[in-house]
Structure formats: structure tokens, C-alpha cells
Amino acid sequence: MENCIFCKIARGEIPSQKVYEDDEILVFKDINPLTKIHLLCIPKEHFKTVAELDDARAALLGRALQKIGAHASAWGLADGYRLVMNQGEAAGQSVPHLHIHILGGEPLSWEK
């Protein structure tokens, strides 16, 4: 996607603070952190929501979760963290490229 901000980050056209990268996913620091540690995990392939998962994308998303689980401690999240995926504008999705928020580094409440 030509004008997608996360595609541009994945292509290296917009700088980001990467903490993990392989050929199919990227994890980088959120520019406006909501918690002490706030990372974003994206597939490099552009699609918007889980409604667009075919078998290959479902497997890709599974591997993304696997990488998060494997690296969370190294990112300072050994005490626990929250994964959030906003699906659609009404749920607060502002960037239409699937991403997993990784939130932690401090105690998190579960209240509105």
C-alpha cells in the first residue's frame, strides 16, 4: 500500500525504533506510548483486520504471537504485558494496517 504509514515503516521509508525484525514481521516502539513500554508488532504484508485472515495470514499472525512470546522478556516485559488489537475505526483503529499493541512495563488496570 503506497500511502500506508506502517507499510512505509516496514519498507524503511519512515524511521522507527525497531526492537525485532525478520522477513515477515516487525516490532517497533509506538511513537505515542500509552504505557512505559509500548511496542507495535506488524506483519509486513498489508491488510487491515482479522476479517481478512486467510490460512496463510492466520499462520503469519500465529508466528507473530510466537515471536512476541519468545522475546517479551528481552523487551523488559517479563512481569507480564497486554496484547491489544483494535479492529476498525469505531474500536479506535487509526492505522488501517493490522498491528498488535504490546503494552507493559508497569501495572495495568482493567477498567475503562
Q: Tell me the C-alpha to C-alpha distance, in Å, between residue 29 and each of 26, 38, 51, 56.
A: 10, 6, 25, 26
Touching ligand 5GP, residues 57-86 (CB under 6 A): 86
Sign for the pseudo-dihedral over CA of 88, 93, 95, 99? negative
CB closer to ligand 5GP, 55 vs 89: 89
Of the pair 63, 93, the CB lying nearest ligand 5GP is at 93
Residues 19-58: x where in contact with ligand 5GP by CB under 6 A, - otherwise, as a string: ---------xxxxx-------x------------------
Binding mask 17-56 vs Zn ion (x if CB under 5 A, - otherwise)? Answer: -----------------------------x----------
Contacting residues for 1 by C-beta, under 8 A, at least 6 apart: 7, 46, 97
| End-to-end CA gap in the chain | 34
